[in-house]
Amino acid sequence: MIKQLAFVALALLIAIPASAQFVTDLAAIPVAARGPGLQGTRWVTDLTIYNPMDHPMNVVLAFLPADHNNHGNENLRPLHLEPHETVIFSDVISSLFDLDEDIKGIVTINCGSPTLNNPEGSVFQAVARIYNTGGGDGTYGQTVPALLTVLNVGQSSSVITGARNDEDYRTNLGICGMTASDELEIHYRITAADGSVVIEDSRVVHTYSLSQWSFEELGVDVADGPLSVELWLDPDQVDHDPCGDPYVNAFFAYVSKVDNLTGDAEFIYASTTGPLSCPEE
């Protein structure tokens, strides 16, 4: 399991836009949730996986609970996919991982490990939907594409725009730590539309784990207009050679913006402001 997570960290360092769906042999769904939210909402997550290949494929999935040190986590589930088969797991945390409590976390998906005995070049496509089932007028939710590419190893900051925290919308910030260290300290700055700083502080995240906070928990009062977020790894934890060690200190982040009236949500990945730079040999 630890080796699989190390491969995830390395694969996520590739610089490709994070807003679309991709075919890949290794990916992560940065947040899968099951449980109650504010204003009567209740959230569940569906996961869909597609085998675009002309041959069968073996896949292994792992669930990494939020706010928990997941070093050594062995909550793995195998999956066999026939050629061009699509599988959906409704309420994936319960139906696949047998967890019926209120919980959230990261889901990793891997078909590239040699132990799976897949033909070379095997890839899959995956996407999740987190949605509110608390209303009587259908479901409202957000699509979460499988994450490939937005790990930040500390050489630049990560930025997110389009957040809101007012009478109409509320926003949550999620940070996922990818490291062999026990904890990472991630600094954040939230700015108003005019560029003024609303709040600047830091939060700690655990090994291979997600932590999520409402903007109120981060110190943001009701604010007019759009808000943007900047995040960076604590300077004391930046690796000098992030390309040479599979256990780099790295993180990725997102915001989830929720409509206060309907419970409809929008998922926005953070983007790094600079490409990964590897030292020359």
pLDDT of residue 138: 66
Question: What's the CATH code of the domain at 190?
Answer: 2.60.290.11
pLDDT bucket at 11, cuts 50 / 70 / 90: very low
Does 224 lie in the same domain as 260? yes
Q: How is the chain classified by DSSP, letter by letter?
A: -HHHHHHHHHHTTS---SSS--EESEEEEEEEEEEE-GGG-EEEEEEEEE--SSS-EEEEEEEEETTS--TT---EEEEEE-TT-EEEETTHHHHTT---SSEEEEEEEES--GGG-PPTT--EEEEEEEEE--SSS--EEEEEEPB-S--B-SSS-EEEEEEEESSSEEEEEEEEEE-SSSEEEEEEEEE-TTS-EEEEEEEEEETTEEEEEETTTTT---EEEEEEEEEEE-GGG--S-TTS-TT--EEEEEEEEEETTT--EEEEE-EESS---PPP-
Mean of pLDDT values over 138-156: 72
pLDDT band at 21 (very low <50, low <70, confident <90, very high): low
Q: Of 30, 217, 41, whose CA–CA distance to 128 is shortest?
A: 30
Picking from 121, 145, 169, the residue at the C-terminal end of a domain is 145
Question: Does residue 39 sit in the same domain as residue 135?
Answer: yes
Q: How many CA within 13 A on the CB side of residue 36?
A: 3
Query: One-letter amino acid identity for 172?
Result: N
Residues 54 and 172 in one domain: no
Q: Which two tokens stand for residue 144?
A: 């979460």
Tell me: do 212 and 131 sit in the same domain: no
Asked if residue 69 belongs to a domain, the reply is yes
- For the chain, the domain total comes to 2
pTM reported for the whole predicted model: 0.78
Could you tell me if residue 255 is inside a domain?
A: yes
In a domain, 281, yes or no: no
> What is the reported pLDDT for 36?
85
- pLDDT surpasses 50 at 15: no
Residue 15 structure tokens:
């610089």
Is 280 part of a structural domain of the chain? no
Specify whether 137 is located in the same domain as 71. yes
151, part of any domain: no
Looking at per-residue pLDDT, the higher value among 33 and 187 belongs to: 187
Tokens of 19: 């807003």
Domain span including residue 225: 158-272
User: What does pLDDT average to over the chain?
Assistant: 84
Question: φ, ψ for residue 202 (rounded to 5)?
Answer: -145, 160
Do residues 83 and 175 both lie within one domain? Answer: no
Model pLDDT, residue 14 = 42
Residue 168 and residue 137 share a domain: no
Q: Which residues have a Cβ under 8 Å from the Cβ of 249 and sit 6 or more positions away?
A: 153, 154, 179, 181, 184, 233, 237, 238, 239, 242
pLDDT at 92: 96
Beta-bridge partners for 127: 48, 145
Mean pLDDT is highest, among 143-147, 171-175, 177-181, 266-270, for 171-175
Structure token pair of residue 188: 């954040």
Q: Are both 65 and 19 inside the same structural domain?
A: yes
- Write the pLDDT tens digit of every residue in 65-110: 998 888 777 789 999 999 999 999 999 999 999 998 899 999 989 9
Q: Which pLDDT does position 240 carry in this prediction?
A: 74
| Of residues 74, 73, 78, the one with CA closest to residue 60 | 78
Average pLDDT value for residue range 37-52: 87
How do residues 198-255 score in pLDDT, each as one tens digit? 999 999 999 888 999 999 999 998 888 899 999 999 999 988 777 766 667 888 899 9
Condensed to tens digits (0 to 9), the pLDDT of residues 154-204 reads 888 999 999 999 999 999 999 998 876 778 999 999 999 999 999 999 999
Give the bridge partners for 58, in sequence order. 80
Residue closest to 233 by CA, chosen among 173, 163, 158: 158
